[in-house]
Structure 1
Amino acid sequence: MGCRQAKPQHTGNDKAEEKGNCETEFTTAVAIDPRLPLDQRQVFKLKQSWKGIKRNMEQTGVEMFIRLFKTNSELKALFTSFAMLDVEDDLRENEALEHHATLVMTTLDDAFSRIDNYSYVTEVLLKTGESHRRFSAFRSEIFWTMRSPFLEAVKITLGDRYTDNMESIYKIAITFILQALSDGFNEDHKVNNSASPVESEP
């Protein structure tokens, strides 16, 4: 499981030395596509941090939707299986909400886990965004309503590990992801492949 090291000279702090070498290897092994709004170090930190979310995807996803409906209660109407539920505990225990939250988090997991593979991630997100056109009541702005609830849910799951630096990285990453989803829905990627990300919340 360790990093490739060529007979390191011991300094008396083997754990710190190994950690430093590991981070160097991870952050320099693959060149980051310049279209990705994250540098190598940010990508490394994000992928390491995301492991904590991956272990709690269902819980994080449900929390995200609970917070979404607190600020955008009208969006519940898009989900006939739990549109009439107003009590938070009922929503948390609803299997349909849990299932949908898990589906959304699975897509996000694919994107975050492979965030350094720009071509793959953008293709998946564009297709996912495009697939939402089959829902007559859906509009691209709805993707952006997920930004704050997602960040709040991640903060709850990670706890003390959600530092100011990690918050900044997650904000950049989720903005990139939501922009790709929105582009896919609007077909913007076919007109302008270099569209700049939306910086403000809807």
Structure 2
Amino acid sequence: MGCELSKLASSKSRNQGARETSPPPPPSATDPRLPLTARQKFTILASWKAVSRALEPTGVYMFVRLFEENAELLNMFTKFRDLKTKEQQSTSMELAEHAKKVMTTLDEGIKGLDNMDDFLTYIHQVGASHTKIPGFNRQYFWKIEKPFLEAVKVTLEDRYSENVEAIYKLTIKFIIETLIDGFDKAMSEKA
């Protein structure tokens, strides 16, 4: 029995030695359609977990900021266009419901960055669904970029480093461009 253990121990230490000399495996390559490196994708997926646990408050903050900077967009929302003050907006059940829906879409999108086919299909569909909104302009998608980044910063607090911010900027830009592609495709199919 003692003999078997020593053989096992010596074979184990030999294997460890071999493992130490071989370089670590390269991070798995990301889909070329994704404008993030494997490390950036890992970083956003890791930090997003905290946002994902606070979708509704993050979303409400995002929409309050959106309407502060773009009051005219409030008219697009029949359910809460009458909420003119920040206080009314931040306590509105209708706004909270919509904010959660939008954040759930972003949540699905960000969690889906591992599978570009599913991600693109899903975000294209969401973009296309906005063609049903009377008077919706594709440029409106860009108006959520800054409020989104501010909301994520508030939610992540000190975890929102310059590096994390740069990755979120790339990610939201990619999501918005994908929404617009879906919107444009649906518009051209309608025409």
**TM-score calculated relative to the size of structure 1:** 0.78
**Once superposed, which parts of structure 1, at least 4 consecutive aligned residues long, lie more than 4 Å away?**
6-9
Q: Which residue of 138, 160, 165 maps to 1:162?
A: 160
Identity of aligned residues (%): 43
Structure 1 gap segments, 5+ residues each: 1-5, 10-23, 191-202
Q: Corresponding residue for 2:118?
A: 120
Secondary structure at 2:29 match in 1: coil
Letter in 2 for 1:173: T
CA offset at residue 166 of structure 1?
Answer: 0.2
Q: Which residue of 85, 88, 107 maps to 1:87?
A: 85
Q: Write the distance in 2 (CA, Å) between the matches of 1:31 and 1:55.
A: 28
Structure 2 gap segments, 5+ residues each: 1-11, 17-23
Cα RMSD (Å)? 2.4
CA offset at residue 31 of structure 1?
Answer: 3.2
Q: Write the distance in 1 (CA, Å) between the matches of 2:82 and 2:32.
A: 45
Secondary structure at 1:187 match in 2: helix
Per-residue CA deviation, residues 49-68 of structure 1 (Å, 9 max, x unaligned), is 00010010000000000000
**Are 1:137 and 2:135 counterparts?**
yes
CA offset at residue 116 of structure 1?
Answer: 2.2
**TM-score calculated relative to the size of structure 2:** 0.83
Secondary structure at 1:114 match in 2: helix
Greater fraction helix: 2
Q: Which residue of 103, 106, 113 maps to 2:101?
A: 103
Q: Corresponding residue for 1:45?
A: 43
Secondary structure at 2:114 match in 1: coil
Q: Corresponding residue for 2:33?
A: 35
CA offset at residue 89 of structure 1?
Answer: 1.1
Q: Write the distance in 2 (CA, Å) between the matches of 1:164 and 1:131.
A: 34
